[in-house]
Structure 1
């Protein structure tokens, strides 16, 4: 899924990076983090639904949280302390996984 201008703006707002939108590091890394996150979600069996606005919003929130985590930890060499994963994020991702529409053999 390509990072559209509208989606990029939403992502930058979530990450509190709107004022840094033209920063070279932001321009370079945010699309990479986004693509990596979307790839992770696809590998986890989770897709974004265009027909279900609630599911699309939950998907976008999970992607936003993962991109923000990648941004915040981009310089981390070794974890100083292992912080617990955000439980709200984990619940959202699990819900998306459990409710992923099944693909029938005729759809493949």
Structure 2
């Protein structure tokens, strides 16, 4: 899988919206589509750390500058052109610390 680097904020925003739309499927019948059934509306999935631990976070996190920095680093390192969801390039303990500060 190759990396796709975006040079505009608009393409990053479009990729994030697509991932969020795909991952925010709570209550829908997605057995055949392979989409998650446990993600409530207004939330999305991120994968964090070496073991790719899965977290469901509120969309409101997207406004936080630190989270935006993580998304930018994620785009540079992993790209957004994969089906897994958003992979954040940080240690799990750092993510939990950050999330506890903003929640």
Normalising by structure 2, we get a TM-score of 0.34
Bigger helix fraction: 1
Normalising by structure 1, we get a TM-score of 0.33
Q: Which has the larger radius of gyration?
A: 1
